[in-house]
C-alpha cells in the first residue's frame, strides 16, 4: 500500500499568515490522485482538494494544492480564524486508499 507522510505534525501560525503543509508518498502517484481534507474538532472531514490541485465545490480560493509524483503541498494563502484545524492528505492512486497522519494548524 502507499504510505503518506505529512509534515510538519503541528504548524503554529497567526491569522493572516501563509500555511504550507506537505505530504510525501512512498510510491509515485502518477495520476495526481491526491486529495486534501480539513477536519475541525467534533466534525466530519471536509474535502478541500482533489486531483492534487483542483478545489472541491465551494472551497475558497485561499486553499490551493500543488505537487506531483511523490511530493504534494497544500497552501493556505491567508489564514482565517476558521482555518485552524487538522488537515489530512489521501491518495486514491491505488487500493487501499490511505490517509496521511495529519497536520494540525494551530493558532500561535
Site residues for another protein per CB under 8 A: 1, 33, 35, 37, 39, 44-45, 47, 50, 56, 86, 88, 90, 92, 95-102
Q: Which is nearer to another protein, 50 or 63 (CB)?
A: 50
- What's the closest the beta carbon of residue 62 comes to another protein, in angstroms? 20
- What's the closest the beta carbon of residue 16 comes to another protein, in angstroms? 28
Contact 40, 29 (CB under 8 A): no
Strand 19-29's sheet: what is its strand order? Answer: 4-7, 19-29, 63-76
Q: What is the dihedral of CA 4, 6, 60, 78, to 10 degrees?
A: -160
Q: Which is nearer to another protein, 19 or 90 (CB)?
A: 90
Amino acid at each position: 500500500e502507499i504510505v503518506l507522510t505529512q509534515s510538519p505534525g503541528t504548524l503554529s501560525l497567526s491569522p493572516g499568515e501563509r500555511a504550507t503543509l506537505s505530504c510525501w508518498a512512498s510510491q509515485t502517484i502518477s495520476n495526481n490522485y491526491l486529495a486534501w481534507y480539513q477536519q475541525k474538532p467534533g466534525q466530519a472531514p471536509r474535502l478541500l482538494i482533489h486531483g492534487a490541485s483542483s478545489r472541491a465545490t465551494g472551497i475558497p480560493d485561499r486553499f490551493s494544492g500543488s505537487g506531483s509524483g511523490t511530493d504534494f503541498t497544500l497552501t493556505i494563502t491567508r489564514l482565517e480564524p476558521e482555518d485552524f484545524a487538522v488537515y489530512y492528505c489521501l491518495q486514491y492512486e491505488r487500493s487501499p486508499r490511505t490517509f496521511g497522519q495529519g497536520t494540525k494548524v494551530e493558532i500561535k
